[in-house]
């Protein structure tokens, strides 16, 4: 197994995320086996990033990261927030897989990941993905 660079964020994207109240890591089973094994993704914490607000409200991108079913970090990126706040939120996220809509990844990559120099890898799933095991 190849070693993963420390603090790598694996951004798992789909054009159709069906968000349920219960977050599940079952989407990891849909990733290519060689990628899962290469980076041992099933051992990393996992989470979800989504979008809230818009139009008249402030737009934010909250996230939760869990390990063994327990929340280890939660927070959010304010679309109009300063780089220092984005850096603080980004620093709180450990190496993990983070499920998100493709459009949300584009915002995160452009406004947070690239400007702040975070190591990341995008993994795209070509069909709808549910955040709930039973869906």
The pLDDT tens digits along the chain (135 residues) read 344 566 889 999 988 776 666 666 777 777 778 887 887 888 889 888 998 886 666 789 999 999 988 999 999 999 888 999 999 999 999 999 998 999 999 999 999 999 999 999 998 888 777 765 443
Distance CA 94, CA 107 (A): 20
8 Å CB contact between 106 and 13: no
Assign 3-class secondary structure to 26-67.
HHHHHCCHHHHHHHCHHHCCEEEECCECCCCCCCEEEEEEEE
Distance CA 106, CA 113 (A): 10
CA distances from 3 to 8, 40, 70, 76 (A): 11, 9, 25, 28
C-alpha closest to that of 42 among 25, 59, 24: 25
3-state secondary structure of 108: helix
C-alpha closest to that of 17 among 126, 109, 115: 126
- Per-domain boundaries in the chain: 9-130
Give me the sign of the Cα torsion angle 72, 131, 61, 15. positive
- What pTM did the predictor assign? 0.83
Residue 63: HSE in the Cβ half-sphere, 13 Å Cα cutoff: 30
Bridge partners of residue 121, in order along the sequence: 10
């Amino acid at each position: 197994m190849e070693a993963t660079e420390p603090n790598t964020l694996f951004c798992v994207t789909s054009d159709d995320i069906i968000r349920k109240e219960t977050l599940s890591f079952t989407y990891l089973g849909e990733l290519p086996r060689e990628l899962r094994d290469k980076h041992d993704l099933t051992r990393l914490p996992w989470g979800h990033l989504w979008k809230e607000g818009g139009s008249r409200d402030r737009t934010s991108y909250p996230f939760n990261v869990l390990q063994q079913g327990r929340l280890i970090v939660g927070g959010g990126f304010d679309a109009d927030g300063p780089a220092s706040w984005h850096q603080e939120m980004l620093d709180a996220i450990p190496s993990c897989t983070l499920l998100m809509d493709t459009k949300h990844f584009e915002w995160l990559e452009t406004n947070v990941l690239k400007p702040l120099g975070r190591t990341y890898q995008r993994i795209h799933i070509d069909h709808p993905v549910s955040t709930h095991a039973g869906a």
